[in-house]
Structure formats: structure tokens, C-alpha cells
Amino acid sequence: MFNHASFIWSAADLLRGTYKQHEYGDIILPFTVLSRLDAVLAPTKAAVLEAAAGFDGDNELPNAMLRNKAGHEYSFYNRSKHNLKTLQGDTDNLEENLRDYVNAFSPNVRDIFEKYKFEDTIDGLAANDLLLQILQHFAKADLHPKNVDNEQMGHIFEELIRKFAEASNETAGEHFTPREVVQLMVSILLEGDDELMTPGVIRDVYDPTAGTGGMLSAAEDKITAINHSAQVNLLGQELNASSYAICKADMVVKGQPIRNIVHGNTLTDPAFANRTFHFGLSNPPFGVDWKKEQAAVKTEHEVAGFAGRFGPGLPRVSDGSLLFLMHLVSKLRDPSEGVAGRGAIVLNGSPLFTGGAGSGESNIRKWVLEQDYLEAIIGLPADMFYNTGISTYIWIINKDKPKHRRGKVQLIDATEMSQKMRKSVGSKRRYLTSKHIESLARIYSEFEETETSKVFANEDFFYRTITVERPLRLNYAFTADRIERALAVRAVGKLESDAQTDLRTAFETAETASDGIVSTNRKQFTAELTTVLNKAGLALKPALVAALVNELGEHDDDGELVMKAGKPAANTALRDSENVPWDEDIHDYLEREVKPFVPDAWIDESKTKEGADIPFTRHFYTYVPPRTLEEIDRDLDEVLGRIRARLEQVKA
């Protein structure tokens, strides 16, 4: 089978020496898009030119007519007399003709080449006498849909982007998701759509991080394979200009409205306001910070609250994955709109557990669980993605779970379900076979407890973090280290320099006089300190005196109990926290788990926080007992025996 991607990328041989490796993709990718569009429109070229004769190119009436002549399934046309092959016939005017050809595309397509800065590309190739050779190369790549269908074209684009990323040392995985992972996500999403077989059913599919459109294409293919009469609307937004241009070109060829693919930042300038979707798919970048978006996101969180996308909370700035999760949830249809929306998003392990009770991450997880939106999480094998070998997880979101799933979450362990690749591609060393996908879809559908499937109540992931305090018991003394701590008190630093010197002298004199004697009576020691200060002529405020007493004190289990407002003061150095299961009383927990070891402990209930995490790995951990010493000794003897035998052979 002809390898289109390899042939197209071989254009790099023409560019080598004139362009740097990281610049290859900026030339090859737009020419690939141009070649595809050229091939798609070739059969209707003559009809379009005949209809365009005599009309002004800016006239709206012929624009609609020309789109019709180009083919009912397409929303674009090109009214130039040229194509990639005929352009080569006039080498004297090649540069000008190519510009005219690109500008003759309908306005909705010209945007694609503007994103690529194609005018600059033409200038650069012409200046280096490479324009004709590149055109000749791409004219040989027959990308007509009869030879290369939309799915194959998607694979070609993804392979080219991967090669581009490798050449420029960029992250290929930021652009696309392995197709088998997408197939799994789509299969599970469609599993819950009971109305999908209805003749003429309409389904809107949305990807807020669309990349080159692979997820959208896979969803359309799967839906139309199930129901040939289904109308599938594909919509997405993409930040990367190159990926956006490819996605837009692909969707145009599919006959999707050109406005359905938007270039921009989903977090700060989301497209499709006030619109929700039947299905949502997303693979946001892993572990990428959102500092640039922080101001806008924080404003929406604080001003719009739950009326906006980020009401539940904000994750730490170093990882914005959960922002995309909340955005996806907000774009899924509510049950009141008819068929409720369902979504699937790929995340790394961090969103499962990062952040303690009360943190933004924990609050987001808790909100998703409280709303009963989280239906399942599937743990994927490592080494599945092109840019990372870390563990990844698919979160399945449902705005209206079926009755038997309500209040519950299914965890599916697919970490051992994969096939090793014959040859790795980047960091990707494993893949899911069709049998793996079928098996996982069945496990999800059966919703049963097995070795690879666990079902939990939403509340099983909730907990409370309590603050355990212990009383402050101190002894007091004038010693060198305590004196230095006392002199470091902030209020002391605000005294006049002479007063600071006098205070140090007074402390050192008291140290010598006390000869290290330790007191356990706070009132008595405070009186002694006051006497020392009076002798030095220092009149300090009571609050500062109390602070000095504290710094001259150290913990002593047998020391005097320090009281504050009639209650025992807490020793912050001994403060601890405990996570208490949601279904257990915090005081019962304290009596059972803490007080047997520290009888004087208590809970500061003002500091109690609620949290949620999903310890996925722990729920599937299987204890493997260590080998016995006898087994280890036997193996060592065998190894040593082989070593001795080889040494004897060497000596002989």
C-alpha cells in the first residue's frame, strides 16, 4: 500500500540545507492541505469555472451558487482557472499564479492559509528557487477522497505532525490522541445513547481541544456506521494555529459548516456561547500551567461563580487539566434539553488525588461527585501516548446517569490490557487492539464487580480532614538558643537599636545568674523576666513580654499547661491532621485512633475541611508476599554455581 505520509514528508529532502529542520512542517503541512483541497475540487472544477464566468468575485449570489457547483457536500470552492498541475506550466509567473490560486478559494478556506502565513512561505520558496520543485512534488500526491478517505487523511495529518514534532523537538502528543484510545472513548459514549438508532437523529459532537480533529472524525464515523441516516454536527476549538488549520480543512472536506471550527483559547475565549452538546470529547495537554489565562479564569470564578464554568474551584496554576474538565461539563446538555450530554476526557493521574481537603482540586472532584456527573474512570496502560509514558485515565461524564448507575462510580483497570508494538513511535510502545476495546466496552456495560471493575458509591471518595491539637506545656529558662529566638521576635526588631542592645545584655546577664535553671511555672517566670527588664530600664508592652516568655519556653510533657481565654492553648509544633472516612464520626475516630496514644488531644472543629480524592491504583492493588529466604538462597546458589563453572572453563 502506498505510504502517502512518507511520500509527502520526503519533500523535506528538497528543503534540507535551505531550511532548518524545525521549519519543514511549516511548509509541508499547508502544501498537504492545499493538495487535499485541490484533489477534492478537481471533479467539479470545470462546472465552477463556467458558473463563475462574468461574475465579480465578491458577489454573494455567485458564492452560494459556486459552492453548489463544487458539490452539495462541500461548503467551499475555488474559482481560479489553475490547479496544482496547471500551475507548473507557467514558470515565469509561478509565484503570482499560486497566490491567485490560493486567494481564489472561498473566504471560509482562505483563513486556513492565513493561519499558516502561506504568503510568507511562497515568498521564501520563490526566493530560494524551490517553489516549482515543491509544487511538482505535491502534484504527484493524489489525495482525492477516492484514493484517500477521510479517516486515512486524518492518519496522514497525524503522522506528518508527529514527524514535524520530532524534527522541531516539540511535543507531538499535544496535537493528537492515539486512534485506538479515541475509538474506546467514542464506543463507551455511544453505548449509553438509547435514541441513536432513530432515523434522522441529530447529534452534536464537541471537542474543546480539537487538535487536528481526530476525535471529531472518529465520533462521526462511529455514529454514521451505527445509523446511516444520522446527522452529525462536529464542532471544536483549537489554540494551535497549525492544528486548527488542518482540523478546519478536514471538516470542510467532510461537508461540515466552516464556522464549526474556531481558532482560539478555550479557557479565556470559549466558542459556542450558550450552546451545549450531545457528546463531548477532549484530550487537554497534560500538566501544563495556566499562568497566561489566570487573570481571566480567576475573574470568571469570582464574578460568575456557579453561573460560569469554574464555580467549584480553581486548581493550582501548575496544572490546568481540571479547568478543561469543568469546561467540558458545562458544555454538555442538561436533561431538561432532551437527551442529556455525555463526555469523555483524557487526564493524567494528578487530577485523581492532587490537593488536600479544601484545595481547588479537591473541591472540583467533590462537586463533580456531588452532582453525580462522574460515571466511570478507565485506567489506561502506560506508554500509550506519543509524547509521554505516564499513566493516563479516561473520565466518563454523564449529565443524566441511568438509574442503576446513579450515586455510583465505576473504576475500570485496563493497565494490563494492551499489545506491545513491534516498533515504538516516540514514547508510544503499546496499543489497544480491537479485542481490548470490545472487552472494555463490555466491562463498562456490564457494570459488575470483577478483578478489573470496581463499583463505589460517590460518598466512598469523600473524607474529612480534622486538625488534632495537643496542649501547650512549657518549661522556661534563659539559655543561649532560647535567647536568640526571643531576640528574633518581629516586635523586638522594631525597638530602638539601644533598646535591642540593652535587651540582649539583660538576657545574657540573666542567663549567667540562672545558671541554666528551668522553671515550669509561667507566672513565676514572667515575674522574673519583668524584674530583669526593669533592672535594664526597659518598659515593654505586655504583648511583647508575653511573646518573649513564649520564645524562652520549650515543650515539656511535664510542664505547666498554658491557658488561653480559659482554655488550654494548642502547641502548634505538635499539631497534626487526620483524614477521616466520610461515614465515620470524627469524635469516634479520635477516641479510637488518636487518644490511646495521646490522651490529651482534641479536635479543633473550626479547621475541619471536607475533601474528595479517587485513589484509583490503591483499589486495584494486590499484595504479593515477598519470597522466602530459602527460595532466595537457592537462586543465589544456582547463579553462583554457574559463575564458578564458567570460571573453571576460563582457567582451563
287-341 tens-digit pLDDT: 789 999 999 999 999 999 999 999 999 999 999 999 999 999 999 999 999 899 9
The answer on 133 and 82 residing in a single domain is: yes
The answer on 381 and 402 residing in a single domain is: yes
| pLDDT digits 0-9 by tens, 562-614 | 888 889 999 988 999 999 999 999 999 999 999 999 999 999 999 999 999 99
The answer on pLDDT for 42 being more than 70 is yes
The answer on 224 and 111 residing in a single domain is: no
Residue identified by cell 483524557 is 346
The answer on pLDDT for 616 being more than 80 is yes
Q: Which residue has the higher pLDDT, 61 or 585?
A: 585
Nearest Cα to Cα of residue 351 among 64, 34, 613, 570? 613
pLDDT of amino acid 1: 40
| pLDDT digits 0-9 by tens, 202-213 | 999 999 999 888
Residue 133 lies in a domain: yes
Total domains present in the chain: 3
The answer on pLDDT for 646 being more than 70 is yes
pLDDT of amino acid 68: 58
Residue 589 lies in a domain: no
Non-local (6+) Cβ contacts of 68 within 8 A are: none
Mean pLDDT over 145-163 rounds to: 81
The answer on 258 and 119 residing in a single domain is: no
Residue 614 lies in a domain: no
Q: Band the pLDDT of 71: cuts 50, 70, 90.
A: low
Residue 467 lies in a domain: no
Give the three cell numbers for residue 394.
Answer: 479516561
Domain stops at, among 528, 553, 568: 568
pLDDT of amino acid 70: 54
Between the CA of residue 80 and those of 34, 47, 500, what are the distances in Å? 14, 12, 88
Q: Residue 307 and residue 399: Cα distance in Å, rounded? A: 17
pLDDT of amino acid 252: 82
pLDDT of amino acid 367: 98
| pLDDT digits 0-9 by tens, 227-271 | 999 999 999 999 988 889 888 888 888 878 888 999 999 999 999
The answer on 455 and 328 residing in a single domain is: yes
Count Cβ neighbours within 10 Å for each residue of 527-547 and write b for 16 or more, e otherwise.
ebbeebbeebebebeeebeeb
Between the CA of residue 401 and those of 189, 247, 375, 435, what are the distances in Å? 12, 32, 7, 26
Least confident of 37-51, 168-182, 384-398, 508-522: 168-182
Any long-range contacts for 192-198 (C-beta under 8 Å, 24+ apart)? 192/342, 192/398, 192/402, 193/278, 193/339, 193/342, 195/339, 196/223, 196/226, 196/227, 196/230, 197/226, 197/227, 198/227
Contact 323, 270 (CB under 8 A): no
Residue 192 lies in a domain: yes
Residue 648 lies in a domain: no
Residue 517 lies in a domain: yes
3-class secondary-structure state, position 254: coil
The answer on pLDDT for 624 being more than 90 is no
The answer on 531 and 425 residing in a single domain is: no
Quote the domain boundaries for residue 301.
176-460
The DSSP code for 555 is: E
Q: Band the pLDDT of 176: cuts 50, 70, 90.
A: low
Mean pLDDT over 522-528 rounds to: 92
The answer on 437 and 322 residing in a single domain is: yes
> Which amino acid type is present at position 387?
N
Q: Residue 384 and residue 387: Cα distance in Å, rounded? A: 9
pLDDT of amino acid 94: 92
Q: Residue 386 and residue 212: Cα distance in Å, rounded? A: 15
Least confident of 123-137, 348-362, 379-393, 629-643: 379-393
The answer on 519 and 498 residing in a single domain is: yes
The answer on 488 and 435 residing in a single domain is: no
pLDDT of amino acid 170: 54
The answer on 485 and 397 residing in a single domain is: no
pLDDT of amino acid 61: 46
Q: Residue 92 and residue 640: Cα distance in Å, rounded? A: 79
Residue 215's domain is classified under what CATH number?
3.40.50.150
Q: Band the pLDDT of 648: cuts 50, 70, 90.
A: confident
Domain stops at, among 521, 553, 568: 568
pLDDT of amino acid 229: 94
pLDDT of amino acid 66: 54
Domain stops at, among 138, 168, 198: 168
Least confident of 74-83, 255-264, 514-523: 74-83
Q: Residue 107 and residue 247: Cα distance in Å, rounded? A: 16
Mean pLDDT over 127-143 rounds to: 91
Residue 64 lies in a domain: yes
pLDDT of amino acid 314: 97
Q: Residue 210 and residue 173: Cα distance in Å, rounded? A: 12
| pLDDT digits 0-9 by tens, 358-416 | 999 999 999 999 999 999 999 999 888 876 778 899 999 999 999 999 999 999 999 99
Residue identified by cell 515543650 is 555
The answer on 527 and 388 residing in a single domain is: no
The answer on pLDDT for 470 being more than 70 is yes
The answer on 206 and 134 residing in a single domain is: no
